[in-house]
Structure 1
Amino acid sequence: ASAARRVDPTLEIVVLEANGYAAYGMCGLPYYIGGVVPDAENLLAYPPETFRADRGLDLRLHTRAVSIDPARHQVETGQGEPIGYDVLVVAAGAQPTRPPIPGVDHDRVFTVRALEDSIRLRAMIDNGGVRRALVVGAGYIGLETAEALAAQDIEVEVVEALPQVTMGVDGPIGELLEAELRAHVAVRLDTAVTALESRGDALSVRLSDGDMIDVDAVVLATGVRPDSRLLTAAGADHLPGGALLVDDQMHTSIAGVFAAGDCVAHHHRVLDAPAWIPLGPAANKTGRVAGTVAAGGNACFGGIVGTAVVKVFDLEVARTGLSAAEAGPDALTCDVVHRSRAKYYPDGHPIHVRLVFESNGRLLGGQLAGRDGVAKRIDVLATALYAGLRICDLTELDLSYAPPFAPVYDPMLIAAQRAMLNLPAVVS
């Protein structure tokens, strides 16, 4: 909406939001729960009145769109009000998945997706009502939330239905991540929650291994699904999981209707195919593109490579492109351990690098883990993937060097040089 306003100051722009807040930093919710962000207001991009007064947006909070009629160019709200449109942008995001188990709707069961839910959990913590918590799911949100709770002296247990922590990393990087998590909280893999039972002010949780544990709060971090129901019901093309298919200007298959954010599939530059990877930067960029084009401007989105970074207690873990498992059995891998700083400089730490590539030298992805310097280096790999660089190109990158920041041969260069040894001589 803000991008559309910048293109055309004369437009009438109506924004419908089902919840009571607009434009807040969803990725900051675990840090608000953990007290790093002291006030929920800090997560708001702007107060609602700023959007209304300064940007001239007709922002309607607590107003849910329940259906779309493309033939009539009309949206119906939960209040039964029909709203006409010339151009429609749907940016409904993603909704947390809730496993179909008894007790999942208990008021001590939370998801870290809506600000309202996080405010409620934070209030319960501040009032001393959470001494033991269960986090269900060991993906990005589960890992960050486990740390946020543990930092407040809450006894935390993480259960994950899969046999490994599920951040999309593998090999030694996955092992480091699991070890770091286990060093701070209890972890059960290959374990699912089968039922939640109320026990006064607490919950008894039944697990698939037969155990029962009593907790004060349960945080569901079992993944999300694209909230695309409005447009799939109206006939928009989508992937099997529901993510909407759009072109590089965010047009859907329905004339006059755009979609952006976590409800859409993006062009994956490594796969050369649409992929649903709901992450904040792409959601923000595609929202700008959709708003710009919808208002008559010109913009396009270049696609993604699936770059993500997470802090898990004292470990930074990042990935981009494809993991070895995602790349398939013919992919090659190279694992290197080097130092984050010059050997003689204090406070340097080991940094683990994994490269994933093809036998022809094509780079497919990479992963890193270490105490520091991970985010800088994953961005180098992400740039290489976006630009279509090969392993041989990585060895020649002119990266920055100073002892406080890197050894003279950066871990990225060492990994690329080592990977070259695995390639046929004609490729090298």
Structure 2
Amino acid sequence: MADRVLVIGADAAGMSAASQALRSAKAAGRSLEVIAVDRGHWTSYSACGIPYWIAGDVPSPGALVARSPDEHRANGIDVRLVTEAVALDTDAGWVEVVDHAAGRTERIGYDELVIATGAAPVRPDVPGAGAAGIHGVQTLDDGAAVLESLARPPERAVVVGAGYIGLEMAEAMVRRGLAVTVVDRGEEPMNTLDPDLGTQVHAAMERMGIDVVTSAAVTAFETGPGGAVTAIVTDAGTYPADIVVLGTGVRPATGLARAAGLPLGPSGGLRTDDTQRVADGVWSAGDCVETWDRVRRDWVHVPLGTHANKQGRVLGTNLGGGQARFPGIVGTALTKVCDLELARTGLTEGDAVAAGLDHVAVTIESTTRSGYFPGTRPITVKMVAERPTGRLLGAQIVGRDGSAKRIDVCAMALWTELTVGELAMTDLAYAPPFSSVWDPVQIAARKAADRL
């Protein structure tokens, strides 16, 4: 009889794990029965693409779906949607699920369990937070709800949170012609950057016509006679709103795992080994787990689709009888707001200070192409290096077209533990339409090496 694998969560991590487990088992001459349950209506979609669907760059939600439920079923996975896991017993080996479409509850037994429950958006715990017109942006259904609200159409949008999703949704609202205010409790937008670079982001957003309110905590949402949101109240003032978008971050969705007594880290994410195993017969991957940070040398919660897909593949390989390891992360991410690109990897200067690391930090201004070449745009690179080893600790980039993807050079330098002196002398490509003779990343590395 085939072993039964039950997967809770049918997005990136869960379906990558399920698909890879079947492939790996087939290669090992094993037979698996794979069941995947999810409380939503979609499988294997790009949540990162939702702001661009709302902005109009992506024509439909279907364009964000990598593999449909029927495609997964054709590949041998029993996909059950609108089916919510509500209880788990790892000793007895069953999960209780509610099929909301059929109005039926049942217990599904398993031999191996994959928990890929993702993350849940953080909502401000203040009066009025449940009002109509206040939207999270976590699922395709969330995106559809935002578009439905935009059909009215509203005139004024307030985005709460100035992180990745907040900035991307601010751009989407601007491009749809709304007056946009972004409210954040931090000193500057993008708290994953140091404040000196956040200041550049703040100024650029204001030039785009976005009103940016920082150091402001939300205290309430005001509503009108019909119960829809009309304003957001903060300790810095009240801001009218016809629609509110929450970009206040997420936390691991591990309520089931916690109730079952599975090991969680300080963030609330599941703690796995490098094969993605949590305990005997239990595996996990994606936004619900903590991940080893190779630079910090500590566990962190970083919910990104890149990690979810890789961890799912590692999990599925091992579950199916193969061998794979997830080697960790270095904290690389990027985004844009209108024509301003932002990227970071590794530690910020603030992170280095908090960790008590002896370090140097340098910031350089350069151009994306040779200075004389048409179309060149400004770029700022900040780099942090360890004293006395010279090891690169992190980098941040803010600039215009052609800036952000340079962060990948820094990410690879972190991955291989290069010193800034070594990074400055690496053999990077050069031609005037793409870079100056010294790429901006190498200029920053050389300056850091000189400081050391």
Q: TM-score, normalised by structure 1?
A: 0.95
Q: Which residue of 2 is the match for residue 56 of structure 1?
A: 76
Preserved contact between residue 267 and residue 300 of structure 2 (Cα < 8 Å): no
Matches within 5 A, 1:313-392: 313-328=338-353, 330-360=358-388, 361-392=390-421
Preserved contact between residue 45 and residue 66 of structure 2 (Cα < 8 Å): yes
Give, in whole Å, the separation in 1 of the partners of 2:186 and 2:444.
30
Give, in whole Å, the separation in 2 of the partners of 1:124 and 1:36.
18
Q: Which residue of 2 is the match for residue 123 of structure 1?
A: 148
Deviation at 1:225, TM superposition (A): 0.2
Which residue, out of 152, 167, 175, partners 2:176?
Answer: 152
Q: Which residue of 2 is the match for residue 4 of structure 1?
A: 21
CA RMSD of aligned residues (A): 1.4
Q: Does 1:88 align with 2:113?
A: yes
Q: Which residue of 2 is the match for residue 415 of structure 1?
A: 444
Cα deviation, 1:178-230, whole Å, max 9, x if unaligned, reads: 11122221111111221123214652324233633332111111110001121
Pairs aligned (count)? 420
Give, in whole Å, the separation in 2 of the partners of 1:143 and 1:327.
25
Q: Does 1:161 align with 2:185?
A: yes
Which residue, out of 268, 284, 301, partners 1:242?
Answer: 268
Q: Which residue of 2 is the match for residue 400 of structure 1?
A: 429
Of stretches 207-216 and 275-284 in structure 1, the one that deviates more from structure 2 is: 207-216
Q: Which residue of 1 is the match for residue 10 of structure 2?
A: none
Preserved contact between residue 7 and residue 296 of structure 1 (Cα < 8 Å): yes
Cα deviation, 1:227-285, whole Å, max 9, x if unaligned, reads: 11211221221112201111110011x21100100111111111122111111211110
Preserved contact between residue 193 and residue 205 of structure 1 (Cα < 8 Å): no
Q: Secondary structure at the match of 1:338?
A: strand
Structure 2 counterpart of 1:337, one-letter code: E
Q: Does 1:224 align with 2:246?
A: no
Preserved contact between residue 267 and residue 290 of structure 2 (Cα < 8 Å): no
Preserved contact between residue 89 and residue 291 of structure 1 (Cα < 8 Å): no
Give, in whole Å, the separation in 1 of the partners of 2:236 and 2:170.
23
Deviation at 1:95, TM superposition (A): 0.4
Q: Which residue of 2 is the match for residue 141 of structure 1?
A: 165
Q: Which residue of 1 is the match for residue 197 of structure 2?
A: 173
Q: Does 1:213 align with 2:242?
A: no
Structure 2 counterpart of 1:123, one-letter code: E
Give, in whole Å, the separation in 2 of the partners of 1:25 and 1:344.
39
Where do 5+ consecutive residues of structure 1 fail to align? 424-428
Where do 5+ consecutive residues of structure 2 fail to align? 1-17, 99-103
Preserved contact between residue 180 and residue 313 of structure 1 (Cα < 8 Å): no
Q: Structure 1 residues 129, 420: closer, same or farther in 2, change over 3 A?
A: same
Q: Structure 1 residues 82, 212: closer, same or farther in 2, change over 3 A?
A: same
Deviation at 1:323, TM superposition (A): 0.5
Give, in whole Å, the separation in 1 of the partners of 2:93 and 2:175.
50
Preserved contact between residue 204 and residue 212 of structure 1 (Cα < 8 Å): no
Give, in whole Å, the separation in 1 of the partners of 2:133 and 2:224.
11
Structure 1 counterpart of 2:173, one-letter code: L
Preserved contact between residue 183 and residue 213 of structure 2 (Cα < 8 Å): yes
Structure 2 counterpart of 1:43, one-letter code: L
Structure 2 counterpart of 1:231, one-letter code: A
Q: Secondary structure at the match of 2:257?
A: helix
Q: Which residue of 2 is the match for residue 426 of structure 1?
A: none
Q: Secondary structure at the match of 2:190?
A: coil
Q: TM-score, normalised by structure 2?
A: 0.90
